[in-house]
Amino acid sequence: MHLQSDIVVPQNIEQVSEFFYEPTSLAKWDRSVADMIPTSGPEAEQSTFDTIAPSGMKMSYRVIEMEYGKNVKILLTESKMFKEAIWQFLFDAVEGGTKITCHVFFKLRLAYFFMAPVLYFTRGAILRDLGFFRVALDEYCANK
C-alpha cells in the first residue's frame, strides 16, 4: 500500500532540513511519537533510532537513503504488524518556500491484513502530521 501527502511551508530548504534532522523535532510534529532515541552514531545513512509512542510502544528504524535537504528514506526494522514499512520525505524548493512530500509504503503481515482498509482511511493522519510539522517549524524558526 502507498499513501502520500504534501505541504508547502514558507521556510527555505535549509531551514526545513535543519529542523527535520534535529532528533528532538520528530516528537514535536508526529503525534504517534512521544520520544525519539538515536541508537547509533551520527552518520546520516544507516543511522538507527527508536521511537516511543505516547502509549509506550517502541518501534525501531534505520535510515536507508539520505541526501541532506532533498530526500530521506526510513525503514521500520521490526514490526508485528508490518512485513515492510518505509517512510520517504522529499524536499523541493518552490516559489515562496519548500514543498515537503511524505510517502509511506507498507506491506502488512497476513495476520494484520484486515487493517488495510483502516490504514487507508486514516491516510489523512499524514497530512495532519505535516500540518503539525508546519506549526512546529514556524515556532522553531521564530525562536532561532
**DSSP symbols for 11-76:** S-HHHHHHHHTSGGGHHHH-TT-SEEEE-S-S-STT-EEEEE-TTS-EEEEEEEEEETTTEEEEEE
Phi/psi at 8 (5° precision): -110, 130
Residue carrying the nine cell digits 502509549: 55
This prediction's pTM: 0.87
Q: Is the pLDDT of residue 45 over 80?
A: no
Q: Identify the CATH number of the domain in which residue 124 sits.
A: 3.30.530.20
Please tell me the predicted confidence (pLDDT) of residue 121: 66
**Backbone phi, psi, residue 95, to 5°:** -60, 125
Tell the residue number behind the cell numbers 525562536, with chain if given.
143
Give the model's confidence band at 51: pLDDT under 50 very low, under 70 low, under 90 confident, else very high.
Answer: very high
- Tell me what percent of the residues of the chain surpass a pLDDT of 70: 94
Domain count, the chain: 1
Please write the tens of the pLDDT for every residue from 63-84. Answer: 999 999 999 999 999 888 888 9
Percent of the chain with pLDDT strictly greater than 90: 64
Q: Which residue has the higher pLDDT, 115 or 39?
A: 39
Which has the higher per-residue pLDDT, 24 or 117?
24
Tens of pLDDT, residue by residue over 13-26, are 999 999 998 888 99
Confidence of residue 42 (pLDDT cuts 50, 70, 90): low
Q: What is the span of the domain harbouring residue 43?
A: 2-142
